[in-house]
Structure 1
Amino acid sequence: MIPSLFLAHGSPMIAIQNNEYTKALKEIGENIKPKAIVIFSAHFEEYTTTIGYTDSVYETIYDFGGFPKELYEITYPAKGSKEIAEMVSERLKANNIPTNFNTSRGLDHGSWTLLKHMYPDASIPVVQVSVNPTLPAKEQYEIGKALRGLGEEDILVIGSGALVHNLRILKWNQTTPDEWAVEFDEWVIEKVQNQDLDALFNWDNEAPHARLAVPREEHFVPLFIAMGSGQLEPKWIYRGYELGNLSYLSFAF
């Protein structure tokens, strides 16, 4: 069975970096060989769950600014899959979750910066799905739960975001993590591994430094979607920090 993953995409620079995290992504790709990928990206927001697909090659979206030219020259020419997109839609609708399709949107950096390291030949069909950060955590979990079982069909579900993601307070020259960011991640790890859904669904009231770590939920909610879709015992698969408090904590479910 293929696990579901929550992966941090952090800075777009990971696409051209060679560090411990990108090595971990490569190792994940070497160990998990799906027939298709369904990825929920923090950078694709819609009020109604929207499933992006194409049967041709996706455009690579550079949804960021001010980075080196090299980053804008990268392409990730993955194809989509109407078949997988329709399967995802059917499962969501069967659980009373409305869906839309988008056949013109490319892959944003919440997807391709990760997949470039995991599956560099871009040979696996990808379906990118939107998030709605305004929904409560329990409803995010239910979106993922509606897709539970895809791993048994060799379809990899990924929630792409970042647990601690507050761009206004990054520390550009700091190489050690802020204590408060570590404390927030420790709380999440404990609750995830103990499968304490009540606490996790009430994270904004119970987690230490919750609103410092998560000023807006779009990068946080992919965690609940990945967790809901998984069927294996949860475990963290990578932990690291950049710029003082940008978390790369990632999980398998």
Structure 2
Amino acid sequence: MLNTTSLNMAGLKETFYISHGSPTLAIDDTIPARHFLKTFRQRLLPQNPNSILVISAHWETTHPTVNAINGPSDTIYDFYGFPKPMYQLKYPAPGAPELAMKVKKLIEEAGFKQVHEDHKRGLDHGAWVPLMLMYPEADIPVCQLSVQTNMDATYHYNLGKALAPLKKEGVLIVGSGSAVHNLRTLQNVKDSVASWAAEFNDWLKESLLSGRYEDVNNYEEKAPFAKLAHPWPDHFYPLHVAMGAAGVDAKAELIHDSWTEYTLSYASYKFTEST
């Protein structure tokens, strides 16, 4: 069984997709999403989860892999050219090896092949940047699960479905990416959003809030400007995992919506399982 020392609830019904945007979210008070994440506990999940599972855009592997870390997790600076204070930040959350083994077992039982363990990898910025704002004490055990960009969105949705039982054990499942993510289109402009980016973002919101999850799984065919919004699917697949982990009839809720740099969306969602 998982350690329940910080569990103040019978279980969870929610999963989350967080758009983490730029790594400077950790230090830049001008980014609106920073305030959203700093008030996450107060507004959305006041009781601490038992542990946290993060599906991050910044860990791509050929096969599903979990990091099973004993002791504090290393803080990975998987970016370059940023202000010096970024490289001085630490998020030494405890590892969650028991959760990692549970994740591996659930995935294997669902029919996924060649599920691997990594006993060295710490937390990349897709995990520690939002968690530093959401849970600054860094006292909740954290495990990461990789994405497979050689596979499709439905694969990741089914991966999430396999993880659904973890919610009953008080595990907070967080997909971390960006609702619109095309680094080549970023511009240093304020209060302006590219029309194509807004159209994709609006399509995603309407599809999720209407429960059209099959459309979201087939976004490359269904969504406007899909390839422009996500030239590479790494920042979108964490949404499909969170969506799948919430359950077939889960209700989606937009919990934050803002932009920076013309095309970088911080739209974030909560998925609540049906009762």
1:27 paired with 2:39, answer: yes
Q: Look up the SS of the partner of 2:131 in the other structure.
A: helix
Segment drifting more, 117-126 vs 13-22:
13-22
Whether the 8 Å contact between 2:255 and 2:268 is mirrored in structure 1 is yes
Whether the 8 Å contact between 1:134 and 1:217 is mirrored in structure 2 is no
1:64 paired with 2:79, answer: yes
1:127 corresponds in structure 2 to: 143
Segment drifting more, 23-32 vs 143-152:
23-32
Q: Report the AA paired with residue 18 of structure 2.
A: L
Q: Report the AA paired with residue 237 of structure 1.
A: I
The answer for unaligned runs of 5 or more in structure 1 is: none
1:103 corresponds in structure 2 to: 119
| C-alpha distance in 2 between matches for 1:196 and 1:82 | 35
Whether the 8 Å contact between 1:2 and 1:155 is mirrored in structure 2 is no
The answer for unaligned runs of 5 or more in structure 2 is: 1-11
Deviations 1:172-201 (A, max 9, x none): 134321121111011111111122133222
Whether the 8 Å contact between 1:37 and 1:157 is mirrored in structure 2 is yes
| C-alpha distance in 1 between matches for 2:82 and 2:185 | 19
| C-alpha distance in 2 between matches for 1:201 and 1:60 | 32
Q: Look up the SS of the partner of 1:184 in the other structure.
A: helix
Q: CA deviation at 1:2?
A: 4.1
| C-alpha distance in 2 between matches for 1:57 and 1:202 | 38
| C-alpha distance in 2 between matches for 1:17 and 1:67 | 12
**1:173-184 superposed matches below 5 A:** 173-184=189-200
TM-score, normalised via structure 1 length:
0.97
**1:1-253 superposed matches below 5 A:** 1-18=12-29, 19-30=31-42, 31-32=44-45, 33-98=48-113, 99-231=115-247, 232-253=250-271
Segment drifting more, 61-70 vs 224-233:
224-233
Count the aligned residue pairs.
253
| C-alpha distance in 2 between matches for 1:13 and 1:245 | 16
* Superposition CA RMSD, Å: 1.2
Whether the 8 Å contact between 2:256 and 2:267 is mirrored in structure 1 is yes
Give me the identity figure in percent: 37
| C-alpha distance in 2 between matches for 1:7 and 1:77 | 20
Whether the 8 Å contact between 1:52 and 1:128 is mirrored in structure 2 is yes
Q: Report the AA paired with residue 23 of structure 2.
A: P
| C-alpha distance in 2 between matches for 1:59 and 1:201 | 33
Identify if the C-alpha distance between structure 1 residues 151 and 118 changes in structure 2 by more than 3 Å, giving closer, same or farther: same
| C-alpha distance in 2 between matches for 1:241 and 1:86 | 37
Q: Look up the SS of the partner of 2:198 in the other structure.
A: helix
| C-alpha distance in 2 between matches for 1:24 and 1:154 | 22
Deviations 1:109-154 (A, max 9, x none): 0000000000000000000110011211111100000011322221
Q: Look up the SS of the partner of 1:54 in the other structure.
A: coil
Whether the 8 Å contact between 1:2 and 1:156 is mirrored in structure 2 is no
| C-alpha distance in 2 between matches for 1:187 and 1:12 | 26
Whether the 8 Å contact between 2:67 and 2:97 is mirrored in structure 1 is no
